[in-house]
Structure 1
Amino acid sequence: MSSTKYTLDRIEDGYAVFLKYPEEEEQLIILQSAMNKPVQVGDRVLIEEINDIYHIEILLEETEQQKTEVKSLMERLRNKNK
């Protein structure tokens, strides 16, 4: 099975809600205890399911780039309202 790229949108009641990248329209909801490692909201990851365990690879460079872009957008929106 191949890995698929997702962004962690939120964590609710012990479940991680991922949005499939890049469209972010399709959701993947995974019980946190079924993941091989913890993740944080906003992390861009590759996910592969093997024997009912979701193997997560955090894409650090893409995650940091996304956080920088979001921060920049927020600053522009704040400055626009002044």
Structure 2
Amino acid sequence: MSLTKYTLDRIEDGYAVFLKYPEEEEQLIILQSAINKPVQVGDRVLIEEIDDFYQIEILKEETEQKKAEIQSLMDRLRKKNQ
């Protein structure tokens, strides 16, 4: 498996569910114990499978940028509904 970009959508029952970026239609479900570092919901990552373990690189700048965009949208929605 080559390096592929994903976004962590959720963690359920010990599994991390990643959505392939940018379409976010294809899922990659990984047992949390097979992940090499802690990840949080919303993190944008690069994933490479190596010997049944997943090497994950968190893309901090992209993650922070996306979180800022989402926060801005939420703020505008709140103002609109007041």
TM above 0.5, one fold? yes
Q: Percent identity?
A: 84
Q: Which residue of 2 aligns with 1:15?
A: 15
Which runs of 4 or more aligned residues in structure 1 lie more than 3 Å from their structure 2 counterparts after TM superposition?
none
SS of structure 1 residue aligned to 2:70? helix
Which residue identity is paired with 2:7? T
What is the deviation of 1:38?
A: 1.1
Q: TM-score, normalized by length of structure 1?
A: 0.97
What is the deviation of 1:45?
A: 0.1
CA deviations 1:39-65 (Å, max 9, x no partner) are 000100000001000000000000000
What is the deviation of 1:2?
A: 1.6
**Unpaired segments ≥5 residues, structure 1:** none
Q: Which residue of 2 aligns with 1:52?
A: 52
C-alpha RMSD of the superposition = 0.7
CA–CA distance in 2 between the matches of 1:38 and 1:22?
Answer: 22
